[in-house]
Amino acid sequence: MAHGTRNPDRRTSRRHTASHGRSRQERYERGTRSYTMSHIRGKDTTIEVLVRSYLFARGLRFRKNDKRYPGHPDVVLPKWHTIVFINGCFWHAHSNCSVFSRPKSNVEFWSAKLLRNTERDERQHAQLVAAGWHVIVVWECELAKPVREARLAKLYDQITAMPGTEPGVIDDTIPAKSHNNQPTAEPHNTMPTR
């Protein structure tokens, strides 16, 4: 067939599939989805490298993925007694996030897995706070290009403002509760302010 001409059989097969109401073809062949998902990185992801590069350029020194602490934190800053977790919105089931969506297939498995991940994160954060650490959570959606620079600058300020404050968890994406227990637009900060 000459370059640039259409294959008439291809057009008919598409119409044939659509007319019989079959669902579109799966992205993965049967049995390969699990293999593909198992090869997704657990550390040194793009967002982790981005945050660490920024902090290093600003003069902060840290340890990465330190196995001595619960959750093997992405960034451990001993001088500031602060730990930073850089979470992917999908794997950590970021609530009220436009990036996160639950899988439509194998719903029972994914719901249980994502719930376990969330519960594990909460448990690890509580252990770190009990040990006297400040914990900061940075989400993948907060590192999108339009808001990236502002979030990274705020992260630096949050880290360097820690000395003398009580340990706690800072997650700017969780709305704080007002007096009548309704969410407000201000970021959640479990650490008392001076």
Reported as a single tens digit per residue, the pLDDT across 72-117 is: 999 999 999 999 999 988 888 888 888 788 888 888 988 899 999 9
Number of H-type helices and E-type strands within the chain: 5, 5
Tell me, what's the pLDDT at 97?
87
The full length of the chain comes to 194
Look at residue 173 and give its three-state secondary structure: strand
* Average confidence score pLDDT of the chain: 77
- Contact by Cβ (8 Å): 63, 76: yes
Query: In the 3-class helix/strand/coil scheme, how is 146-168 assigned residue by residue?
Result: HHHHHHHHHHHHHHHCCCCCCCC
Global confidence as pTM: 0.70
Residues 126-143 have pLDDT tens digits of: 999 999 999 999 999 999
d(CA 24, CA 33): 16
Quick check: 21 pLDDT over 50?
Answer: no
Residues 31-73 have pLDDT tens digits of: 676 666 665 656 778 899 999 999 999 999 999 999 999 999 9
H/E stretch holding 177: strand 169-177
Tell me, what's the pLDDT at 95?
85
